[in-house]
Structures are given as C-alpha cells and as structure tokens.
C-alpha cells in the first residue's frame, strides 16, 4: 500500500473533500493519512494524525511515519499557527524522500515578475509593489482608477478600488459580502488610511480593469487545470464567477455566484466567442508549463481570467491550491474525477519516482 498524506492547517479544513479522497484511496492501492505540519514530532519524525480505516470507512487516530506522498492543502494566514507551520512545510519540501504533488506558487508579485517575461506577458495587468503612498497618488493622477491588493492575499481579502475625482478620492472594498465605500477629501486623509495598510502587509498596485458585465457585476472566468494519471495537464472545467452589483470582486467567498461557461459564451457574438476561446486555449496550454519550468512542479492550478469590455483577456490570479466549487457547480458529474485525481496523480508520481530511483540504483550498481 502506498502511503498518501493530506496535509492541512486544521483538521476540519475541507473535511468533505478530504474524506471523499480518503474513501477512494484503498481502491488505488493507497492508505490515506491526514495530518497537520505542526503534528510532526521533530525528534522522532513521527506524525500524530489520523488514518482512513477501510473497514470502518472512517478516520482513526494514528501515529505514523511521514507519508512519502503529500497533497498539501495548507492555507496560510497571519496567525501564529501559520507562522509555525511554514518552516515545517519548507523542511518537508526539501526532503528527497518525500514527494509533494505540487510545490505551490510564490506571491502575486513574484508570479507577475516571472510571467511578465514569458509569452503570456500581454495578458498580465501591470503590477508593482507599493513602496510609498505617493506612488499611489501619482498612479491615480495618471490612470484615475486603480486596484490595490495584498501580494499574499486570497479570496478577495483586503482588495481596494481607488478612484480619483476632481479633489476627492473614492475608495471601495468588499468585506463580509458587503460593499463599503469611503470618500477621502484630500491626499493627506488618504495617506492616513493607506500608510498603516501598506505598513501592515505588502501591497501591489494594478490598473483597474473594466471587468464588469452590462449590469455592473464584476465577473471572471475560473479555469481548473489538473494533471491526469499520466502527468499530462488537462482542463477539468471552467465557469463564470459573478460578483455583487456595484462591487469589485467576483470571488465566491465574497458572495459571488456561478454561471456555466457555455451559457455565458452563447450570449457572445460568434466572432468574439471564437477569439475568446482561442485565447483561453493559448493561456491554458502555456501557463502550467511556464510555471513548472520557471518555478516548481505542480499538480493543479486555478486561473482567474478577467474579460474586459473591449474583449481583452487578463490573467488576474493563479492559485496552486484551487477550490472546485465553480467547476462542480457547472458540471456535478466531475465529482468522481476530482476525488480520484490527487490519488491517481500521486500514484503516477510514486511509480515513476521509484522507477527513476531504481534505474539510478541500477546504473550505480554497474560501476
């Protein structure tokens, strides 16, 4: 039995997804473990976690060796536990005897820097680190509308839209599914709000792109790519995420809803539908290979793509630990495929790895 470990930051995180994967592990010749990085004993290297019991069809507490295959589903925040786990996960990733399904991606700015020297550069909104408030003012003077977002953010958290009026500056955000607007009468007042924000966590600045539909709802295309049982990248599905009227985010966590891609694209003119589909194809066939070549091996990615009013496509975000909600809502039949995918890709890695190791060992035997 191949040991397959799923790692999360807390034991309740993604409970049903993890249970569904575990329940299928036995049929793939695997035994599934679930643990937190912080539950590895640094002295004995034994893990205190749980194992999925095939006979009982439920988790049982167990102590085990660090599984040789790890599916990392840790979502870090600013909390102490995240800070404790990050170095442990780095240490796990550096070990030769442990194979991660995917190694994750760097922050939004590092990702931008990598992709902006690739053939996908035309699809990236220009992004820069905010070093001081005056940079934001000069961007507002030039572009009138900008977006600022934390370089380590996710789920739409901490994203602000800023618009320069004659004298005042309008700032809009979405928090707890509500749109919050504020007008700053002058630059000094804006600085008083902005300085602590950028001191607390690094932010990047981007031009605001008109990514709303005809009824002022922000929307984007979410595409899920995964590797199959032979390590070949596949598009599992795509859907449209639609945010709140007058809002700025299309994230489901911000209250967005889902529409299937075919329904949405059937409302487009034939010519724009064709050009959007062919550009999406260009992005999805190139992006995973560029990321793996320039950054690190991956098992899956979720890509957020904005569609501007003029039909231009923009790569807004790439997630190495994507959710499955959008594709499952538009295609519920994908469930089985998605529950089996990490196991099957893990098995492929395990077998190709051991073959490689074996051939390496055999080579060294001759000498």
Ligand X SMILES: Nc1ncnc2c1ncn2[C@@H]1O[C@H](COP(=O)(O)OP(=O)(O)O)[C@@H](O)[C@H]1O
List contacts with ligand X (CB under 6 A): 125, 147, 149, 153-157, 159, 206, 208-209, 211, 218, 220, 248-251, 304, 316-317
Q: Closest CB to ligand X among 206 and 320?
A: 206
Least Å from the CB of residue 208 to ligand X: 5
Q: Closest CB to ligand X among 40 and 174?
A: 174
Least Å from the CB of residue 336 to Mg ion: 26
Q: Closest CB to ligand X among 36 and 159?
A: 159
Residue 218 near residue 212 (C-beta atoms within 8 A): yes
Q: How many angstroms from the chain centroid is the CA of residue 248?
A: 19
Contacted by 330, from ligand X, Mg ion, none: CB < 5 to 8 Å by type: none
Contacted by 220, from Mg ion, ligand X, none: CB < 5 to 8 Å by type: ligand X
Least Å from the CB of residue 273 to ligand X: 21
Q: 201, 205, 220, 238: which is closest to 306 by C-alpha?
A: 220
Q: 154, 141, 66: which is closest to 111 by C-alpha?
A: 154
- Give CA–CA dist 316/328, Å, rounded: 21
Q: Closest CB to ligand X among 39 and 155?
A: 155
Dump the DSSP string for 138-196. HHHHHHSEEEEEETT--TTTT-EEEEE-SS-EEEEEEETTEEEEEEESSHHHHHHHHHH
Least Å from the CB of residue 100 to Mg ion: 22
Least Å from the CB of residue 303 to Mg ion: 9
β-pair partners for 225:
235, 301
Least Å from the CB of residue 270 to Mg ion: 29
- Tokens encoding 4: 């397959």
Q: Closest CB to ligand X among 145 and 189?
A: 145
Residue 65 near residue 46 (C-beta atoms within 8 A): yes
Q: Which residue number is nearest to Mg ion in terms of Cβ?
A: 317
Contacted by 147, from ligand X, Mg ion, none: CB < 5 to 8 Å by type: ligand X
CA distances from residue 264 to 213, 259, 323 in whole angstroms, order as listed: 11, 7, 21
Q: Which residue number is nearest to ligand X in terms of Cβ?
A: 317
- Give CA–CA dist 76/82, Å, rounded: 5
Q: What is the contact surface with Mg ion in residues (CB under 5 A)?
A: 304, 317
Q: Closest CB to ligand X among 36 and 221?
A: 221
């Amino acid at each position: 039995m191949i040991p397959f470990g799923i790692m999360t930051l807390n034991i309740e995180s993604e409970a049903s997804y993890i249970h569904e994967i575990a329940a299928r592990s036995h049929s793939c010749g695997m035994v599934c473990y679930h643990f937190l990085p912080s539950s590895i004993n640094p002295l004995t290297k034994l893990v205190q976690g749980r194992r999925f019991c095939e006979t009982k069809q439920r988790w049982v507490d167990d102590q085990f060796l660090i599984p040789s295959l790890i599916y990392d589903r840790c979502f870090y925040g600013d909390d102490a536990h995240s800070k404790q786990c990050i170095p442990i996960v780095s240490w796990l990733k550096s070990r030769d005897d442990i194979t991660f399904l995917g190694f994750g991606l760097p922050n939004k700015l590092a990702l931008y820097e990598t992709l902006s020297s690739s053939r996908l550069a035309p699809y990236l909104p220009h992004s820069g680190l905010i070093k001081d408030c005056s940079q934001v003012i000069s961007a507002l003077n030039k572009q009138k509308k900008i977006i600022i977002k934390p370089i380590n953010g996710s789920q739409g958290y901490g994203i602000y839209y800023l618009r320069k009026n004659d004298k005042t500056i309008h700032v809009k955000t979405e928090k707890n599914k509500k749109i919050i607007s504020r007008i700053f009468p002058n630059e000094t007042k804006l600085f008083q709000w902005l300085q602590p924000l950028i001191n607390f966590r690094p932010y990047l600045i981007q031009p605001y792109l008109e990514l709303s539909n005809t009824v002022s709802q922000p929307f984007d295309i979410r595409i899920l790519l995964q590797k199959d049982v032979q390590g070949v990248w596949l598009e599992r599905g795509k859907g449209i995420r639609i945010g709140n009227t007058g809002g700025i985010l299309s994230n489901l966590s911000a209250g967005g809803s889902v529409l299937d891609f075919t329904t949405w694209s059937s409302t487009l003119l034939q010519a724009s539908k064709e050009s959007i589909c062919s550009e999406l194809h260009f992005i999805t066939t190139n992006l995973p290979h560029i990321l793996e070549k320039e950054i690190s091996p991956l098992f899956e990615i979720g890509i957020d793509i904005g569609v501007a009013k003029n039909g231009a496509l923009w790569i807004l975000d790439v997630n190495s630990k994507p959710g499955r909600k959008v594709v499952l809502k538009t295609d519920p039949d994908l469930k089985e495929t998605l529950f089996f995918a990490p196991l099957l890709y893990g098995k492929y890695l395990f077998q190709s790895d051991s073959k490689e190791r074996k051939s390496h060992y055999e080579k060294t035997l001759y000498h």
